[in-house]
């Protein structure tokens, strides 16, 4: 699943190339990409594609931002189009070839096209109404005091805490493993057992790992590609994720894999305590 570094890579790549361009057309053959609840009390979903298309055509992209794993197209007239890549989504800029997995095409002024490709159809596109704020604090902008405060409100495994988008947004399975390896904290360690030193190590590790991943264009394990179609380079640099059975590059111990709920966690049994 694309996580914060992958989404940040997409935003930084696209920002200078599409800011200021006008949306000329938007087409899709995947109604569920635009799913919304029929009402606040209903669990039934409907497609908002026609409504969204009508609201965005003719508007200029004034800026491009990211919150957590969400890409935000800030449009003229105060509208905001939000796109979540979910598990297998990627945005391509002017791809040379089209795919059967292309779910959304946005035509921009100047002959520019954005194509959202999503093999599993889990992505989501919507208009944010009323200045909606996402839950959780963005991991890239989170301050030490904010992290410490959040940890004080939880009593869960630290791995689960990092995956909880209501607490820290943007981190998923890959970078939670990498951050905990860097910080020297075991994934099953309870949040309320962390000392001041542990929290400082965790904070530094979060900033260091995310910055390194962004610098290298994110992680391409399966579907994720940068908007130019190229792979991200962090996969070759990872220290723990999907390295079960390999030697830890820090101390030579063997990386282990465990299950925490429905997720897996990879860690070093020697320096992660």
- How would you class 105 by CB atoms within 10 Å of its CB: exposed for 0-12, middle for 13-18, buried for 19 or more? middle
Q: Do residues 50 and 150 both lie within one domain?
A: no
Q: What is the CATH number of the domain that holds 94?
A: 3.20.190.10
| Confidence class for position 40, pLDDT limits 50, 70, 90 | low
Q: Residue 223 phi/psi, 5° resolution?
A: -90, -30
pLDDT in tens, 161-208: 999 999 999 999 999 999 999 999 999 999 999 999 999 999 999 999
Mean pLDDT of the chain, nearest integer: 95
Q: What's the confidence (pLDDT) of residue 57?
A: 98
Question: Residue 256 catalytic?
Answer: no
Q: Do residues 82 and 193 both lie within one domain?
A: no
List beta partners, residue 27.
105
Q: Do residues 107 and 201 both lie within one domain?
A: no
For the chain, strand residue ranges (E) read 23-28, 35-37, 45-47, 61-67, 70-75, 80-84, 90-93, 102-108, 112-117, 124-127, 137-138, 168-169, 256-260, 263-267
Q: Do residues 201 and 177 both lie within one domain?
A: yes
- Tell me, yes or no, whether 39 lies in a domain: yes
User: Residue 155 is part of which domain span?
Assistant: 137-267
Per the structure, how many domains does the chain have?
Answer: 2
Higher pLDDT, 127 or 131: 127
> Is the pLDDT score of 37 beyond 80?
no
Tokens of 85: 């890549």
Question: Residue 3 catalytic?
Answer: yes
Alpha-carbon span 149 to 152, nearest angstrom: 5
> Is the pLDDT score of 226 beyond 90?
yes
Question: Residue 69 catalytic?
Answer: yes
Catalytic member of 3, 6, 8, 178: 3
Q: What's the confidence (pLDDT) of residue 272?
A: 98
List beta partners, residue 83.
71, 125
pLDDT in tens, 139-159: 999 999 999 999 998 899 999
Q: Do residues 234 and 263 both lie within one domain?
A: yes
Q: Do residues 160 and 258 both lie within one domain?
A: yes
Q: What's the confidence (pLDDT) of residue 130?
A: 62
Alpha-carbon span 120 to 123, nearest angstrom: 8
| Confidence class for position 216, pLDDT limits 50, 70, 90 | very high
Alpha-carbon span 75 to 59, nearest angstrom: 6
Q: Do residues 117 and 150 both lie within one domain?
A: no
The overall longest dimension of the chain from CA atoms, in Å, is 58
Tokens of 241: 């994720």
Q: Do residues 47 and 152 both lie within one domain?
A: no
Catalytic member of 69, 189, 225, 239: 69
Q: What is the CATH number of the domain that holds 152?
A: 1.10.8.50
List beta partners, residue 259.
264
Catalytic member of 208, 250, 263, 270: 263
């Amino acid at each position: 699943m694309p996580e914060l570094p992958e989404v940040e890579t997409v935003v930084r790549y696209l920002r200078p190339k599409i800011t200021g361009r006008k949306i000329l057309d938007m087409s899709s053959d995947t109604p569920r990409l635009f799913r919304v609840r029929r009402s606040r009390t209903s669990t039934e979903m409907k497609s908002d594609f026609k409504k969204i298309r009508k609201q965005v055509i003719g508007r200029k992209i004034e800026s491009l931002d990211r919150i957590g794993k969400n890409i935000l197209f800030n449009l003229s007239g105060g509208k905001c189009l939000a796109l979540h890549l979910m598990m297998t989504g990627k945005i391509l800029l002017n791809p040379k070839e089209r795919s059967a997995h292309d779910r959304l095409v946005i035509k921009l002024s100047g002959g520019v096209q954005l194509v959202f490709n999503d093999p599993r159809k889990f992505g989501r596109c919507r208009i944010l109404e009323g200045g909606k704020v996402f839950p959780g604090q963005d991991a890239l902008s989170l301050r030490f005091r904010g992290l410490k405060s959040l940890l004080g409100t939880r009593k869960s495994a630290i791995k689960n805490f990092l995956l909880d988008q209501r607490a820290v947004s943007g981190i998923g399975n890959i970078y939670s493993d990498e951050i905990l390896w860097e910080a020297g904290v075991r994934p099953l360690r309870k949040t309320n057992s962390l000392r001041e030193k542990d929290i400082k190590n965790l904070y530094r590790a979060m900033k260091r790992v995310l910055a390194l991943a962004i610098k290298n264009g994110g992680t391409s394990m399966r579907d994720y590609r940068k908007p130019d179609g190229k792979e991200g380079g962090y996969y070759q640099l990872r220290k723990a994720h999907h390295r079960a059975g390999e030697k830890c590059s820090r101390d030579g111990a063997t990386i282990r894999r465990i299950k925490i709920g429905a997720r897996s966690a990879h860690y070093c049994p020697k320096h992660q305590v």
